């Protein structure tokens, strides 16, 4: 199954009013696209200053005082408990251990589901709070689909990316486990390894020590949301751009492999559109889904190849690979710059 969803940012006041937001969500639903709201619940910009001139008092529907701000971030003088994760110093970090905070957030998420029509959530900066709180929010709002952004640095030694990234993906898997599996996570591990493998022509990186995909998708594929680029890494911000001109190798990988692949808007409406569309059609046609099985048949310096569900064969990299024809016959379905994908016939 290929999940089709769009993510609408929650800055309603800047881009329009509530009625216009509800209208655009309805339009998406009319063409079969489910809509995720970008819920930023780790931190929140304050409306008012306290007696010391610190911005930590909130207005609006969630009119919290400084008890809602964690007490261990020196920038915002919160009176709450210590943070259950990493602090994001650009804005007051919300203390999710407070019962009134969780109650209000549950009501707000349910309102967004019912009134606006959101189908689920993209949760921003989930490193900042314990995944157990996410479980409570997911059980209250009952999303169709949700994904958390757990983004931290991969492992490097003297500037070189380590082959073994188990510690990195373990942190993401631990967070998903804390949510009791109620929320998936962006597979930052796969993004980083793909990025390095393709950029440096080191395709051996795409197999872990047990011959499995080396990202979250190799351990918990049903909760791994794979991607090669997003609004932070690419687009106008460009914090960690995928190797230029090689994006289709990345899409050949994530659109043929398990997990829930995410196609970046900028790429979908670029000169890559026809190739991406062909890969999406192939995925749907062969019923590749988040729990599909992967058999890695090559992971060498200049080529990676795998067979998925015994239905699809894929190779990326400049090196040579052709699937063996025996009881199965293979036909080339999609190809482009340094990638090919075959279907079993």
Q: Indicate which residues carry an active-site annotation.
A: 124, 149
Q: Where are the beta strands (DSSP E) in the chain?
A: 5-8, 34-39, 48-49, 55-57, 120-123, 145-148, 156-157, 160-161, 184-186, 224-226, 260-261, 294-299, 304-308, 312-316, 330-336, 339-344
Q: How many CB atoms lie within 10 A of CB 203?
A: 24
184 bridge partner residues: 147
User: What is the Cα–Cα distance from 89 to 208, expressed in whole angstroms?
Assistant: 35
Residue where the block lists tokens 């795998």: 306
User: What is the Cα–Cα distance from 168 to 62, expressed in whole angstroms?
Assistant: 35
165 and 193 in contact (C-beta within 8 Å)? yes
Helices 166-178 and 188-200 meet at what angle, rounded to 10? 160
User: What is the Cα–Cα distance from 187 to 213, expressed in whole angstroms?
Assistant: 12
146 and 123 in contact (C-beta within 8 Å)? yes
Question: Which run of H or of E encompasses 193?
Answer: helix 188-200
258 and 217 in contact (C-beta within 8 Å)? yes
Residue where the block lists tokens 């408990």: 81
Question: Which run of H or of E encompasses 288?
Answer: none
Q: How many CB atoms lie within 10 A of CB 135?
A: 16
Phi, psi (5° rounding) for residue 308? Answer: -115, 125
User: What is the Cα–Cα distance from 186 to 146, expressed in whole angstroms?
Assistant: 10
CA 145 to chain centre: 12
């Amino acid at each position: 199954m290929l999940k089709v969803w769009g993510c609408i940012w929650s800055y309603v006041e800047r881009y329009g009013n509530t009625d216009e937001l509800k209208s655009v969500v309805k339009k998406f639903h009319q063409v079969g696209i489910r809509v995720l709201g970008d819920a930023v619940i780790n931190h929140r910009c304050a409306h008012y200053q306290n007696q010391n001139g610190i911005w930590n008092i909130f207005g609006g529907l969630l009119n919290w005082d400084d008890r809602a701000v964690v007490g261990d971030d020196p920038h915002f003088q919160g009176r709450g408990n210590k943070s259950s994760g990493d602090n994001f110093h650009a804005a007051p970090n919300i203390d999710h251990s407070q019962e009134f905070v969780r109650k209000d957030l549950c009501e707000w998420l349910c309102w967004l589901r019912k009134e606006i029509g959101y189908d689920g959530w993209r949760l921003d900066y989930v490193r900042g709070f314990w995944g157990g709180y996410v479980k409570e929010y997911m059980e209250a709002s009952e999303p169709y689909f949700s994904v958390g952004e757990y983004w931290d640095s991969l492992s490097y030694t003297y500037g070189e990316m380590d082959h073994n990234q188990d510690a990195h993906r373990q942190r993401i898997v631990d967070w998903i486990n804390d949510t009791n599996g109620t929320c998936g996570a962006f597979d930052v591990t796969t993004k980083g390894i793909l990025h390095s493998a393709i950029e440096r022509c080191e395709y051996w990186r795409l197999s872990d020590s047990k011959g499995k995909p080396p990202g979250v998708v190799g351990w918990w594929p049903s909760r791994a949301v794979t991607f090669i680029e997003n609004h932070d890494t690419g687009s106008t911000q460009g914090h960690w751009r995928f190797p230029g001109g090689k994006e289709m190798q990345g899409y050949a990988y994530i659109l043929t492999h398990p997990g829930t692949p995410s196609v970046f808007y900028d790429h979908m409406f670029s000169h890559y559109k026809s190739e991406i569309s062909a890969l999406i059609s192939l995925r749907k046609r062969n019923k590749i889904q988040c729990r599909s099985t992967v058999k890695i048949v090559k992971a060498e310096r200049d080529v990676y190849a795998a067979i998925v569900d015994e239905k699809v064969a894929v190779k990326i990299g400049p090196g040579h690979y052709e699937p063996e024809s025996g009881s199965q016959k293979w036909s080339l379905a999609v190809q482009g710059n340094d990638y090919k994908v075959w279907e079993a016939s």
